[in-house]
Structure 1
Amino acid sequence: MRVLIVEDSEPLRESLKLGLAREGFAVDAAADGLTGLDYARNNPYDVLVLDLLLPKLDGMGVLAGLRTKADRPHVLILTARDRVEDRVLGLNEGADDYLVKPFAFDELLARIHALVRRRYEERTRQIAAGGLELDMVARRAVHQGEPLDLTAREYALLEYLLLRRGQIVTREEIEDHVYGVHKLPASNAVDSTICLLRGKLGLTGKDLIRTLRGRGYVLEAARARDSELRP
């Protein structure tokens, strides 16, 4: 999943970026509101972690600038402003959650996971399909009762396919959600990772993760006619 951090404090920004990357997120970061708004408008983020007191454009301005974006990210405001009025204003202006500094990283992580689940309409941390079971918090994957030994990239790709199960997912969408803006993949990176995933899924790998030539990939629990698949 892809997260954007907009925070002007360099130590905090870099600490969050490193911590979330260690948890398997593709993370981009901006130090001011204008850069953050530009990133958020032009990239499909799942979650935006947004400070309010920013140079060039404050957090409320960023929220206002995203109001017309069709596929806007879920927004977690991260700020030292702890008054009830500030929380109410932020939520009314379009934020999805509000966390006051100082905070525990584990709480921030739990809130981000909750926003990802909300974005993809998942009620619990577990996702299951076609003999696959995935725990989004523990970052564990099991296939037909056996744990899968996945790299961070393989896990991230499998997680995204599971969240979009039954839908056609293009190579470009995978690149957007699994890689950060500064880590553009090699031209065959997605295909190679799909191939490795199928190998680890054994004989059912190709049936679980299908290639639709010229359209993309689809993860499905049961084979459907191509005309029934959702874009």
Structure 2
Amino acid sequence: MRILIAEDEPRISRFVARGLKAHGYTPTVVEDGITALDYASSGEFDLLVLDVGLPRMDGFAVLRALREMGADIPVLMCTARDSVADTVHGLEGGADAYLAKPFRFEELLARIKLRVRERNGAGAQPTRETCALGDLTLNLRTRVATVGVGAQKREVERSSRE
């Protein structure tokens, strides 16, 4: 699952990207609203984690433009703007969730998993995580290939394209 992170604070974007990658997601980070809109509208991402206070175009404007284009990408807004008015504005503007900073990564991850379940349908069957052929096994979620058996066993991390 490819997740776009639109966050201009490098410390936060690195923290979120590292955590998502550790859980088998493929994160991409952008630092401004115009780039976020361009990437999010491309159809290449499954979910957008969107900060409100982005340079060049704020998160509310990005969300509004996405929804006006008809983009149905799930959007989780993560922002320091935690007033009720901002939360309502984000949710009524088409955000799927609104998370105030500082937040715990576990809560962000739970919200992402919920959006994935909703998008795939509540009763959807889980996808198969591994493929195997001979002594080669590939974990499709983590993209780790295991080659060999016993003491000769070796793991190789692959990119999403590979």
> In which range does the TM-score fall when normalised by the shorter chain?
0.7 to 0.9
> Which residue, out of 103, 125, 128, partners 1:127?
125
Q: Distance in 2 between matches of 1:184 and 1:69?
A: 28
> How far apart are the structure 2 equivalents of 1:38 and 1:44?
11
Distance 1:20 1:92 in 2: 27
Secondary structure at the residue paired with 1:42? Answer: coil
| Residue 91 (structure 1) shift | 0.4
Q: Which runs of 5+ in 2 are unaligned?
A: 131-135, 144-157
SS in 2 for 1:3: strand
Relative distance call for 1:184 and 1:120 in structure 2 (3 A) is closer
Tell me by how many angstroms 1:150 deviates: 5.9
**Structure 1 position 112 matched with structure 2 position 112:** yes
For residue 141 of structure 2, give the secondary structure of its aligned residue in structure 1. Answer: helix
Aligned to 1:155: 141
Gaps of 5+ in 1: 135-140, 143-148, 158-178, 190-231
TM-score (norm 1): 0.56
Paired amino acid for 2:61: G
Spell out, residue by residue over 1:84-111, the C-alpha distance to the aligned partner (whole angstroms, 9 max, x if none): 1111110001101011111110011000
Opposite residue 10 of structure 2, the aligned amino acid is: E
Q: Which has the higher helix share?
A: 1
- Give the Å deviation of 1:156: 6.2
Q: Which residue of 2 aligns with 1:19?
A: 19
SS of equivalent to 1:19: helix
Query: Which amino acid in the other structure matches residue 46 of structure 1?
Result: D
Normalized per residue, the structure richer in strand is 2
Judge conservation of contact 1:44–1:71 (CA < 8 Å) in 2. no
Equivalent runs, 1:74-89 vs 2, <5 Å:
74-89=74-89
Give how far 1:14 is off: 1.1
List aligned pairs for 1:1-231, cutoff 5 A.
Answer: 1-122=1-122, 127-128=125-126, 151-152=138-139, 154-155=140-141, 185=161, 189=162
How many residues are treated as equivalent by the alignment?
144
Shift of 1:155: 3.0
| Residues in 2 aligned to 1:53 and 1:28: alpha-carbon distance in whole angstroms | 18
Q: 1:108-158 deviations in whole A, cap 9, x for unaligned? A: 1000000111111225xx835xxxx76xxxxxx59xxxxxx9644x2368x
